[in-house]
Amino acid sequence: MLDPADIQARKDEVIWAAKRCFDLRLQTNAGGNLSMRLASGNAIVIKPSGVGFNECTRENLQLVHLDGKMEPSEFKPSKDLDFHLDLYRIRPDIQAIVHCHSPWATGYASAGREIPCLTVQTIEKIGRMPLIPLSPLGGPQTEAEISPVFQDRSIRAAVLANHGTIGVGKTMIEAQYLAEIIEETAHIAFVRDALMAAHGQTGVTMPIFGTAREARETAGR
């Protein structure tokens, strides 16, 4: 039995993240998608097709059961609905998903390059953001390409070739922060690469440790 108060609360969290993405220019126009799992049952709330992040409301967000059955809605379901549903099915730890076409990260994805985790924060918090290729027919990635990558429970962020980014979390704010960190990391990597090229540098010293715990262990040696 789905709890109406739970549905409203999850919709409000989706609306909060959508507006934040729009304000930060992680997602303009009607692209991208974000969703959240209900606490009270096997269903999610998700943005429909054709609605911008800045236009999400309690009225237009859709309620979809994990088996794919959709509650009545005057809007078309998103092309991304199936991959969101499958991520919730294969990863019970995922409660929220933010998928954006943020420009710095999608630039890397369109050059066929994995965004490197360069900073101590990304090494510690993310580890790796795999680049997921387009579907075999050249179309946008589906659950057939995305879910196998997220079968690894340590993966929290990924980048879709020629498409955008995915951040997942135990809470909406966690997924939102990942969408922001992916974009920030792509921007940092671009600046680093431009500076290295300008100064004729071919190599760079990377952190010798990745996590605060490893740093303490190194210092204690």
User: Which residue ranges make up the site for Zn ion (CB under 5 A)?
Assistant: 164
CB half-sphere exposure, 58, CA atoms < 13 A: 8
Asked whether the beta carbons of 33 and 48 are under 8 A apart, the reply is no
Name the minimum Å distance from CB 103 to Zn ion.
13
Asked whether the beta carbons of 210 and 123 are under 8 A apart, the reply is yes
Of the pair 116, 164, the CB lying nearest Zn ion is at 164
CA-CA distance, 4 to 191, in Å (whole number)? 47
Residue 99, strand partner residues: 33, 166
Name the minimum Å distance from CB 141 to Zn ion.
8
Name the minimum Å distance from CB 80 to Zn ion.
6
Of the pair 40, 49, the CB lying nearest Zn ion is at 49
Name the minimum Å distance from CB 58 to Zn ion.
23
Which is it for the CA torsion 82, 87, 92, 98, positive or negative? negative
Of the pair 53, 88, the CB lying nearest Zn ion is at 53
What phi, psi does 120 have (nearest 5°)? -60, -35
Of the pair 104, 210, the CB lying nearest Zn ion is at 104
Helix, strand or coil, per DSSP, at residue 131: strand
